[in-house]
Amino acid sequence: MGRTLSTPRQHQLAEGGCAGEAVPGEAGPVRDSESEAGFQSTIKYEVIIYWSDEDGAFIAEVPELPGCMAHGITHEAALGNAQDAIRLWIDTAKEFGDPIPEPKGRRLILA
């Protein structure tokens, strides 16, 4: 599993690689209280978590943010890494002036 997050611009800039890659079982970056308030709105995006035999890890995808995904050795680790990936996806989109979708606040996919 090489990707944690990506925006369309990151795909253009780095073939297959991306910044802020989460590593299974490792904690994400420490957030300070100032950025924590802005971060709270990002966790409103739907996150889908599933097991991947190929990767040997839980995969967490954020369908509302194209290419935004993370992984972890537990559901909790995958979700924590996904929250970090959401924040990094949004920070990168802001940096490049790319649009940031508003969270829909409802289930997007029903299998």
- Tell whether 36 is covered by a domain: no
Structure tokens at 66: 């194209």
CATH code (residue 58): 3.30.160.250
- 10-39 pLDDT, tens digit per residue, is 433 332 333 334 443 444 444 444 444 455
pLDDT in tens, 35-71: 444 554 447 999 999 999 999 999 999 999 999 999 9
Quick check: is 55 in a domain? Answer: yes
- Of residues 93 and 21, which shows the higher confidence score? 93
- What tokens appear for 97 in the block? 């002036």
What domain count does the chain have? 1
Q: Which pTM was predicted?
A: 0.63
Number of other residues whose CB lies within 10 A of the CB of residue 19 = 13
- Tell me, what DSSP letter sits at residue 73? S
pLDDT in the model for residue 43: 74
pLDDT value for 107: 76
Q: Is 37 inside any structural domain?
A: no
Domain range for residue 77? 8-25+45-96
Q: Is there a domain that residue 39 lies in?
A: no
Residues 72, 41, 19, 27: what is their CA dihedral angle, to the nearest 10 degrees?
Answer: -40
